[in-house]
Structure formats: C-alpha cells, structure tokens
A and B are shown apart, each in its own frame.
Chain A
Amino acid sequence: MLDTILSFFKKKESSKDVAKERLKLVLIHDRSNVSPQFLEMVKGEIIKVIQNYMEIDEESLDIQLTKTNSEDGERMVPALVANIPIKGMKNAGR
C-alpha cells in the first residue's frame, strides 16, 4: 500500500527534482574521491572512539565508501562500510 502511494508521488516528481537528487548522490561519491586523505581521517576518528570501549584489530580494520540499495530498494545510495574486527571488550563496556 505504502509503496503504491510512494510510486504515485514519484511519478509526479518533476525531472529537475530527479536531476537534483541524482546530482547530490553522485557528488557525495565524487567529493570523497577528490581527497584520499578523507577516509584516513574518518578511520582515525572511528578507531579513537571504539578503542574507548573495545580492543580492536587496527591492522585488519577496513573502511570503504561504497554504494548500497536504498530502503525502498529502488536506487543506489552511498554508504560508509566499516569492518572492524574486535579482539575483546574493555571493562568500561561492561
């Protein structure tokens, strides 16, 4: 039901709104590609926060900007995917 309503509204969306939406998404990806240091910065900050609570394997930590299906499954959206192996919990987390 909700899908039907959503698709009804979608058809009425003007082509400039479609253009704007697509541009915004593609630019998120483009802009992150411009500086490779960007992900390193994000990575460093995430490690700092998580280390307050858990012991993590910094060596095999992997962070990527990729695309994934949106919740309605109809288009691709950018996503930050982090794979952080945990070695153990710290006392503060208990």
Chain B
Amino acid sequence: MGEVIVITSGKGGVGKTTTTANLGTGLAVQGKKVVLIDTDIGLRNLDVVMGLENRIVYDLVDVIEGTCRLKQALIKDKRYEGLHLLPAPQTRDKNAVTPEQMLKLCDELKEEFDYILIDCPAGIEQGFKNAIAGADKAFVITTPEVSAVRDADRIIGLLEAHEIRKPRLIVNRVRADMVKRGDMMSIEDIIDILAIDLIGVVPDDENIIISTNRGEPAVIDGKSMAGQAYRNITNRLMGQDVPIMDLNVSEGLLSKMKKLLGFKTA
C-alpha cells in the first residue's frame, strides 16, 4: 500500500514544483515506484521541470472524466525506472475536479505505487482542497521570508482542520551567509514560529535553475548542494536517520537544530 504526500506552501514561487520533481526522482532512483500528480490545473509546470512536456497526451481531468484510462495518462519517465507523471490540463478550470474524485484517484494509485507525490497549486481555494483530499501526509515548503512563513502558518492550520496531522517542514532557499550575519531568519527561528517538525533544509543554489533549464532534476547532480539536500530528504522520507546538512552555519545553531529535530522517530 503506497503513501500519498501533498507538497504545499500557500505562497507561490517557494519551490513546490521543484521539490516535487526532485523528491520523486530521488525516490525512483532508490528503486521506488512513484507517481507525481500536477494538480495546478490551468498553470501546469511539473511537466517542464521534469523535462516531460513533449510527451503529454492525456491529463488528470481526462482520467477523472473517463476520457482515457489511468494507465494511458501516466507518462513513464524513460530515464528513471518506476517514475511516472500525471500532468494537469492547461485549458481547464480548477472546478473540473472535486476533492472526492481526487481521493478516489489517490486510493486507486496507492494500490500500485509506493509513493504518490502531489504538487499543490498556490492559494487556499479549490485547487488546494483538491490537492490535499487524498493525502496521508503533507510537506509544507517555505523560504526564510516573512510572507512565505506567514502563508505556511495558514496552510498548517488548514491542513490540521482537514485532519492531515503533523505536516513536516521544508525550508527552501536558505543562504548561510545571510543567516550568519543576521539578515535571514535561521531554521531555528522558523521552527520556533511554526512549531512543526522539520524534514529538510535546501540551500539557495544556482544549480536548481541550471537543472530546471535542462529539465533534469538537481537530485541526480552529485555536485549540487540543493541536489544533496533533496537526496537527504528522500532518505529521511524512506525512514533513514540523516543529519541536517551543514550550510556553514555556526556550530551552536547546527547542534541545536539537530536536537530540535529528533530524527530517531522519523
């Protein structure tokens, strides 16, 4: 029986799609059967980040409306065995899907796949409700900015209201130099405010833009810091105890961070 994880943030542009692509690829590289669902109807992007934009025939709404079979709409990634994408339609409305239909689809996919990762649209309306409907777990993405943390807090409240307990946090685009000189909130500051468990920290890394340019997730790039961070998150997701990456933050802070996390239970 697979696990459905929604990747959400509230605010747009904090890295939901990039994270979905990287975690999905990371899991597939480790031999898992994975399907990525883009639920951003009308503004799909997971296809281009994955480099699969030329292979779309059917989409999420085609499956839900019965225009095609589920198997026909799943795009098999030829580079990574076991990785599949269910793209969003580009020309439909968010209301073309209901939360009940999403739940049914997720339950169906769970039968065959180890992990179903759902790329959630920005916002808290219909698209968000659809994306979380079938989720067992949630990863909340934020960046160390006031606006992103505020929206993450709102999302955490809404997830709990929808009975998705214990969402876990990914802090994206951390700049160690700025944290060091006191011009960026640290991981510790953000955890203190949001009061949820951390699953990973991703450094700000230009390799993400380069790999997105090519349509090849950074997680497979051995030289990318962000790629390493995503590999770590993948391993934690699979239950391994991996320490949080050293982003050249002061010793004291790092050890405090580790203490806060308590990955033994992860």
A26–B147 CA distance with the chains assembled, in angstroms:
10
B265 to chain A, nearest CB (A): 26
**Hey, what's the 0/1 contact readout for B179-204 against A, CB within 8 Å counting as 1?**
10111111001000100000000000
CB <8 Å contact, A16 and B186: yes
Within 8 A of A (CB), among B49-84: none
Interface size grouping (class) on chain A? 10 to 19
Taking the closest CB of chain B, its distance from the CB of A65, in whole angstroms, is 16
Does A34 sit at the interface, judged by CB under 8 A?
A: yes
Given known contacts A23-B193, A27-B193, A17 and B150 CB-to-CB distance under 8 angstroms: no
Residues of chain B within 8 A (CB-CB) of A24 are 193
Contact A23 B157 (CB under 8 A): no
Query: Which residues of A sit under 8 angstroms from B145, Cβ to Cβ?
Result: 19
Question: Given A24-B193, A27-B193, A34-B157, are A15 and B183 also a contact pair (CB < 8 Å)?
Answer: yes
| Number of residue pairs spanning A and B whose beta carbons lie under 8 angstroms apart | 40
Contacts of A34 on B, CB cut-off 8 Å? 154, 157-158, 161
Q: Which residue of B lies closest to A15 (CB)?
A: B183
Contact present for B157 and A20 (CB under 8 Å)? no
Size band of the interface chain B makes with A: 10 to 19
Instruction: Give the contacting residue for B153; candidates A19, A20, A30; CB below 8 A.
Output: A30
Tell me whether A14 and B193 are in contact (CB under 8 A): no
A48, CB-defined interface residue at 8 Å: no
Q: Is the interface of A mostly helix, strand, loop or mixed?
A: helix
Q: Does A31 contact B (CB under 8 A)?
A: yes
Task: Please measure, in the bound complex, the distance between the C-alpha atom of A31 and the C-alpha atom of B179, giving whole angstroms.
Answer: 27
Task: Indicate whether A15 sits within 8 Å of B153 (C-beta atoms), given known contacts A20-B193, A27-B193.
Answer: no
Nearest CB on B from A37, distance (A): 12
What 0/1 pattern do residues 134 to 171 of B give for CB contact below 8 A with A? 00000000001110011001100110010000000000
> Is there contact, CB below 8 Å, between A20 and B189?
yes
Q: How far is the CA of A92 from the CA of B223 in the complex (A)?
A: 75
User: How near does chain A come to B201, taking the closest CB pair, in angstroms?
Assistant: 16
A22 within 8 A of B: yes
Name the residue of chain B whose CB is nearest to the CB of A13.
B182
- Of A19, A22, A24, which is in contact with the most chain B CB atoms at under 10 Å from its CB? A19
| Residue positions of A touching B, CB distance < 8 A | 14-17, 19-20, 22-24, 26-27, 30-31, 34
A-B contacts, 27 of them at CB < 8 A, read: A14-B181, A14-B183, A15-B183, A16-B179, A16-B184, A16-B185, A16-B186, A16-B189, A17-B182, A19-B145, A19-B146, A19-B185, A20-B189, A20-B193, A22-B146, A23-B146, A23-B149, A23-B150, A24-B193, A26-B150, A27-B150, A27-B153, A30-B150, A30-B153, A30-B154, A34-B154, A34-B157
CB-based closest 7 A-B pairs: A14-B182, A34-B157, A16-B185, A15-B183, A19-B146, A16-B182, A23-B146
